[in-house]
Amino acid sequence: MKIAIIKMSGEMESNKGERRTLEMLRLKRKYVCVLVDNTPTMLGMIEKVKPYVFAGEIDAETLKELIEKRGRAAGKNNRISIAADRLMEWISRFMSGKAEFKEIGIKPFFRLHPPIGGFKKSTKLYWPQGILGWQGKKINELMKRML
């Protein structure tokens, strides 16, 4: 299973460790999404930067939409074009941890829009009152509105 992490706010008042963790996760700008493995190390990193991100388990359907709409070719700022059957085969291997972004030639991060209809909860509070922190499967609904 893969985890999607989206940066929600800047790190003006963060300490050096939090900034370094965001840098290691490749979260440099607001509304940038990265996909990581579901490991204890990554979960610890998410816990450390919880005031700045929201994260959850991404499903294959949302990942397909994310790559089709927001995927960019590595080295360029151009859209990518991949056959649907080849993309679905790659997604199944990627979700099981046997494939990487280099194989299909796309950047390992995605720039998203603010969600259509706005955030339904506070962007300054943790789950369940707000959207920050671990979202679980609910991140798929939010990501679809951000594409």
Confidence of residue 76 (pLDDT cuts 50, 70, 90): low
Tokens 């720039």 correspond to: 111
DSSP 8-state class, residue 128: T
Alpha carbons within 13 angstroms on the beta-carbon side of residue 10 total: 2
Q: What's the rounded Cα separation, in Å, for the pair 59 and 62? A: 6
Vertex 16 angle, CA 10 and 21, to 5°: 70
Tokens 């390992």 correspond to: 108
**Looking at the whole model, is its pTM more than 0.85?**
yes
Total residues belonging to the chain: 147
Q: Tell me which amino acid residue 95 is.
A: M
Average pLDDT over every residue of 78-104: 86
Give the CA distances from residue 123 to residues 48, 55, 92, 126, in Å, rounded to whole numbers and listed in that order: 17, 13, 32, 8
Alpha carbons within 13 angstroms on the beta-carbon side of residue 70 total: 20
Domain that holds residue 99: 2-146
Q: What's the rounded Cα separation, in Å, for the pair 147 and 128? A: 23
Confidence of residue 77 (pLDDT cuts 50, 70, 90): low
Q: In the predicted model, what is the mean pLDDT of the chain?
A: 87
pLDDT of residue 14: 79
pLDDT of residue 46: 92
Average pLDDT over every residue of 77-93: 84
Any idea what the CATH number is for the domain that residue 76 is in?
3.30.1390.20
Q: In the chain, how many domains are there?
A: 1
Range from 11-25, 75-89, 132-146 carrying the lowest mean pLDDT: 75-89
